[in-house]
Structures are given as structure tokens and as C-alpha cells.
Amino acid sequence: MMSQEQIKKKIIEYYRTILCREPDKDGIEYYVKMANNGASLDNIKELFLESSEYSILKSTKFLKHAPSFKTSFSDDEVQKMFDSVDGWYHYFKIGNVETTNTRTTMNYQMWVSQIIPTDLNGMKILDIGANDGFYSFLCESRGAKRILAIDRNQPELTDTYLKGENVCQYDTILKNKRQEERFQVLKKILNSKVDYKVMNVYNLDSINETFDTALFFGVYYHLENPVLAFQKIFPKINDSLFLSGHIIESKDPIMYLNDNKPHGGWFASSECLLQIGEKIGFKKCVLLDTLDMNFDIYSRTTDPDMKDLLNKSKIGLFKFSK
């Protein structure tokens, strides 16, 4: 029987050899708990090979558009500012300094970013659910003249794998640093003009301006009422809405209410999202790309009838045009 240290070393090896990166702390803890609850190392290795991150890694064609963020600060100064806040969600590389223990990778971020035009000269962008702002700052680097990033402050979350059960529960950890502070650190480093507001998507009525395009990445499935969110977004954009999010594999226009708290929300089929877009008033609704996504922590459920369906779900990338 392997020791805890041997299991940990093997998981670190999977990160390095399969995902070609150093592991994050939460990831190691998650897979070690899986092993402790009966998952074999072969099973865990399969999860790495079936992960969305690995599927992106196999094709790096989007990395040629990765931003080269500029700053007047030295590497040491950037490192100190990165270290002044924790819980980085997006991966950033500025100069020779990188954010660490991030929830996403540059590969994934650039897969999502394929939908964003490389030339945004003169455009106005609304970034909904911006978190620490990668896509906002990317749009600025591509020439957008006005960018408003919005998000609601929320606790950082860590997952706890329940012993003996194939479900994932979340312990809420209240940290001193919030995502707004991480955003402001990046804004300072990049000498950015991107505006940030703490607000909910349902309160977009309070904004007295419209935008050419809205970004709605990784948000809809967290919401209690995604249809209302679409209704609030529609009058605020003049051209397009770009959306990414988890989708259920079904030809039917179905939406499932996930009972996993606090991440619980709605998981829809691509056909469901496309029909919502049409119903709201978009003239052209297109699913542009999908990404295999297996065993994702956001799609856990205690409903045995839905586990298999959610474990076979994907990430979809959509464009809704007026």
C-alpha cells in the first residue's frame, strides 16, 4: 500500500508530465483525498488525461494570441504586488513573473479568448463576472477604448471531498483579500484604465450606457436565474454577447438545477442556451466550439440520476448577435 507521500509524489508527477505545469495546492489535496477514498492512481491518471486542461494543452494554436502585458515596474516590484494578495483566479505573466496556484491556465484562457476579436480598436466592452480581470485587460491590450468590469465580491472557496461518497462539498473560507483587490493590483501594474464596479448582473439597469460587446465567461451556471441575466444584458449591448460555460450533452432544450451549494446553479444544454438567446431577441445564436470537460468540481451533484450526465458535460463557447 502506498504512503500518503508516495501518492502525493505521483500526483505531482501527473501534473508535470501530463499538464506540463506545477500543481496547485488545492489540486493536490483534492486528488489525494480521492485516493484516500478508494480511487486508484490509474483512475486519477485517466482524469488528468480526460481533463479540459489537457485537451487544450494538446492544441496550442491559440497561444500565439496570448497577451504580452507591458509594465513600468521591475520584476521584483511585480512579484511583491502579486504576493500582496492571494487566491489568484486567472493566470497572468507580466515580464518574467507569473501568478501561482491559479484556478485557470493560459491555455484555457486563450481557448476562451478565441471568440474575442484581435482588433477591438475603439470598441466598448462590458466584462460580466470579471474576477481578477484577465479578459478585461486582454481587451484593453487589443485596443478597446472603454472597458467596464463588474463582479460581486464573494468568499474564496475550497473543496472538501467527502469520505466514502462520490460528491464534492465546499467549505467557505473567508479571506482578507477579495477579488476586487486582485483586480486593482493588476490595474496598477498595467497602468490600466479599465473601470471596475462591484455589482450583480441583475443590477445592470443602473448603468447608464451601452457597450458594443459583453463578455459573460464562466458565469451563467452559477446564477439562480440565468434567463433574467440574459434579459438584463440584452439592452446593454449594441452588437454581441460572448458566453462560455458548462453545458449538458443533450439535443433537447433542457436545463438542470444543480443542488451543489454554494456553486449550485443551472446547467443547460447548448440547444437550451441558443433558444434562450433567440427568445430574448438575438437574431443569430451560434455555438462556436466545445471543450471536453470531465469530473469537474462545479458539476457535482447528490442526485444519482444526474451524476453520469454531468460528468460527461462540456464547456461551450457561444456568440449571440443582434
In sequence order, which residues have a C-beta less than 8 Å from that of residue 61 and are 6 or more positions away? none
pLDDT higher at 144 or 59: 144
Q: Which residue has the cell 449538458?
A: 248
Q: Is the dihedral of CA 219, 220, 226, 229 positive or negative?
A: positive
Percent of the chain with pLDDT over 70: 82
Task: Identify whether the C-beta of residue 132 lies closer than 8 Å to the C-beta of residue 182.
Answer: yes
pLDDT, position 256:
83
pLDDT higher at 85 or 261: 85
pLDDT higher at 250 or 274: 274
Please write the tens of the pLDDT for every residue from 219-259.
998 888 999 999 999 999 999 999 999 898 888 999 887 76
How far is CA 190 from each of CA 3, 172, 178, 205, 224, rounded to the nearest angstrom? 45, 31, 19, 30, 34
Distance CA(47)–CA(296), nearest Å, equals: 10
Distance CA(179)–CA(284), nearest Å, equals: 34
| CA atoms within 13 A of residue 4's CA, in its CB half-sphere | 7
Residue 248 in grid coordinates: 449538458
Angle between helices 270-280 and 226-233 (to 10 degrees): 40
Residue 77 in grid coordinates: 516590484
pLDDT, position 173:
36
Answer yes or no: is pLDDT of 295 > 80: no
Q: What does residue 103 show for φ and ψ, rounded to 5 degrees?
A: -80, -25
Answer yes or no: is pLDDT of 166 > 50: no
Distance CA(191)–CA(81), nearest Å, equals: 13
First to last CA, the chain: 60
The superfamily in CATH containing domain 50-321 is Vaccinia Virus protein VP39 (3.40.50.150)
pLDDT, position 297:
47
Answer yes or no: is pLDDT of 154 > 70: no
Please write the tens of the pLDDT for every residue from 175-219.
334 788 999 999 999 999 999 999 999 999 999 999 999 999 999
For the chain, which residues make up each domain, given as ranges? 1-49, 50-321
Long-range contacts of 20-26, Cβ-Cβ distance < 8 Å, separation of 24 or more? 20/57, 21/105, 22/100, 24/100, 24/101, 24/102, 24/103, 25/101, 26/101, 26/158, 26/159
pLDDT band at 82 (very low <50, low <70, confident <90, very high): very high
pLDDT higher at 229 or 62: 229
Please write the tens of the pLDDT for every residue from 7-27.
999 999 999 888 888 888 888
pLDDT, position 314:
84
Q: Where are the alpha helices (DSSP H) in the chain?
A: 4-18, 25-36, 41-49, 52-57, 75-83, 106-113, 134-141, 179-190, 226-233, 270-280, 304-311
Answer yes or no: is pLDDT of 313 > 90: no
Angle between helices 25-36 and 41-49 (to 10 degrees): 140
How far is CA 245 from each of CA 38, 220, 267, rounded to the nearest angstrom? 30, 7, 9
Pairing state between β 124-128 and 211-217: parallel
Answer yes or no: is pLDDT of 104 > 60: yes
The single-letter DSSP state of residue 295 is S
pLDDT, position 103:
84
